[in-house]
A and B are shown apart, each in its own frame.
Chain A
Amino acid sequence: MRRLALAAAAALAFAMPAFAQDESEPPLPHPSWSFDGIFGTFDRAALQRGFEIYDQVCSNCHSMNLLHYRDLSALGYSEDQIKAIAAQKQTTGGPNDQGEMFQRPAQPADAFVAPYPNEQAARAAHNGALPPDLSLIVKARAGGADYVYGILTGFENPPSGFKMNDGMQYDEFFPGHQIAMPQPLTDDSVTFADGTKATLPQEAHDVTTFLAWAAEPKMEERKETGAKVLLFLLVMTGVLYAAKRKIWADIHGHA
């Protein structure tokens, strides 16, 4: 059995290097996340503050096409609050009886309204650069939440002698260090509804928590189910082991 465990460990170790960080990059910051660990859950207050930041800052350039306003109930918003949040945005409805499309306020069943009608419009507004959709950003980057937090807090003046291209910013944690996005968050970029002081680390932490939820909205359900399944499997495997010992006793001569 020990050999099997070793083999399993070797197989996993063997699978790991594909995702290892490049050694020459600085190590990512690792703030404490409410959603870390096997019992981790999303901090609801941080999620709501994070959504406020997305709504007021990020959503000016970044879409979140995979989310619907109805999904916000998971953040602790009431149905009326969600209706009000959705109604702030205009979306295209129709066709009506005359066969015409029209603008109407968004509803809870609608997807998050994107800032640009298409990729070309987004690029035209950003000097050719495309602000990526943020629905899955935490799962779509090596380093996950730590990476997103690192990008948001990693804006600096370039080190002396570092050659910057036009219109680019220096970010300690962005691959190649030149990022087209201007620094999006600074102290007091938003005023939180719950009165929390909006420092840059607080904002980066909260919006990253929100984005982590957006990328994996079923995480809490997953971990809760996992605990039950594992408990069952441990008991079942224990019983099977006892049965195995008993059945094999007459072959091996031990009980």
Chain B
Amino acid sequence: MANQATHGKPVSQSKIVRWIDHRLPMFTFMQHELNEYPTPRNLSYWWNFGSLAGITLVIMMTTGIFLAMQYDPNVNDAFNSVERIMRDVPWGWLIRYIHMNGASLFFIVVYIHIFRGLYFGSYKEPRELLWMLGVVILLLMMATAFMGYVLPWGQMSYWGATVITNLFSAFPGVGSDIVTWLWGGFAVGNPTLNRFFSLHYLLPFIIVGVVILHLIALHQHGSNNPLGIDRKGPQDSIPFHPYYTIKDSFGLGVFLIIYALLVFYWPNLLGDPQNYIQANPLQTPPEIVPEWYFLPFYAILRSIPNKLLGVCAMFGSIITLFLVPWLDTSRVRSAFFRPVYKWVFWVLVFDCLVLGWVGAHRPEGIYVIEGRLATIYFYLHFYILMPLIGIFERPLPLPTSIAEAVLKKHPAAPAPASAAMGRH
């Protein structure tokens, strides 16, 4: 990230900008990472979800800061303070519904982003650390979302917290001590709520830190692309700005329309009605269900009769993602050119949807069998199919360059926008 832009060409006509940039090269940095940052010219709309995730994180943090100004993290007041935000705080209902639905949309966006990476092989050399940092972000998001869901102190908050923290009791020997330590007492109570609030406020800032690392790793080699082949020269690239700033802005518009529809017209569609009942430690709800974005993991947990093994299988499903760069043995990145993996990918998507479906139902009858089969298939996909398909599959021939493939698709397209690329 050396200030290459200053070599020969001043960063701006403005004296003030040049004065600042000479001492703190923030304008050079932006020029380099946004204006000149070379991006494959063929990114599809699937590549919008990274910037959407970043924007959603900012929305969550700003709304969260304002909610925290009105929220009381005390078991006697938490539920009523949220209702006070909904009823008496000016525009409180708006801030809270944006935050509440933002959590769901954050996961939708991030799940699509992850599956995009899986389809186009974005985790392969040299982007392994980029991918693994993404998995770290997912883990931090899950912890943040879980603790955030406890804060309104509804029935599902309380019982969800009880079930999930109790998972740690599965550790042999020290399990129950760990749980007591997590709770700060002998049951989920006021100390638990206080620390969850504290951590729920802290973790997003750690996520921002990992996101910065994720972006540094991204900008080291640049984005992967739908063809999965490397950029070979200026004819394959376009500058990030204005091409992808405008494409991302349009995508953001579509995203905000969906977001607004949920917030203003179906704000409680993705929530559980039970969470509008204040937490009652003496009354277990008929069914304890986590938020929808945790259902596939919940299904894996419940499909294994042994508690410790169930917990291991659940956390293992995420640990598995860390190993994906080495489990996939194929040298071809994009599934476009992988006739077998392409189908197996969609079976995995379907498998995850089945797990989500199963997670929403009581583990009885058909759901037990479905859940077990889907769990087995999940692991089969990553530990058997991925390595073997990479070895035995015969990939289609790859195009020689991105530009060649683009020109074949759009014969009218002129050769690279040379004016825009002049700086490189």
Contact = CB atoms under 8 A, between A and B. Distances in A.
A and B: bona fide binding partners: yes
Interface of A: 1, 4, 7-8, 10-11, 14-15, 17-20, 38, 66, 71, 132, 135-136, 139-142, 144, 175, 215, 217-218, 221-223, 225-227, 229-230, 233-234, 236-237, 240-241, 243-244, 247-248, 250-254
Nearest to A224: B264
B250 A244 contact: yes
A182 to B, nearest CB: 22
B413 A251 contact: yes
Contacts of B55: none
Given A66-B80, A237-B253, A248 B247 contact: yes
Nearest to B274: A140
Tell me the interface secondary structure of chain A in the complex.
Answer: helix
B276 A140 contact: yes
Given A11-B108, A15-B356, A248-B246, 14 more contacts: A15-B269, A15-B292, A17-B357, A135-B83, A225-B94, A225-B264, A227-B264, A230-B261, A236-B253, A237-B250, A237-B257, A244-B247, A253-B412, A253-B414
Contacts of A225: 94, 264
Interface in B352-377: 353, 356-357, 360-361
B225 to A, nearest CB: 14
B104 interface: yes
A243 B97 CA distance: 31
A230 B417 contact: no
Given A66-B80, A139-B273, A240 B250 contact: yes
Given A218-B86, A230-B257, A253-B412, A15 B265 contact: no
Given A241-B250, A251-B41, A230 B243 contact: no
Contacts of B286: 175
Given A11-B108, A252-B413, A1 B356 contact: no
A15 B253 contact: no
A247 B260 contact: no
Tell me the interface secondary structure of chain B in the complex.
Answer: helix
A240 B245 CA distance: 10
B150 interface: no
B119 to A, nearest CB: 11
A15 B295 CA distance: 9
Contact of A136 (B104, B256, B277): B277
A240 B258 CA distance: 16
B311 to A, nearest CB: 22
Given A17-B360, A18-B360, A244-B247, A253 B261 contact: no
23 contacts: A14-B292, A14-B357, A15-B104, A18-B272, A18-B289, A18-B295, A19-B269, A132-B277, A136-B276, A217-B87, A222-B267, A230-B261, A230-B264, A233-B260, A244-B250, A247-B242, A247-B243, A247-B246, A251-B417, A252-B410, A253-B413, A253-B414, A254-B412
A252 to B, nearest CB: 5
B270 A248 contact: no
Given A1-B45, A17-B361, A244-B250, A8 B356 contact: no
A226 B250 contact: no
Given A218-B87, A244-B247, A251-B243, A237 B254 contact: yes
A222 to B, nearest CB: 6
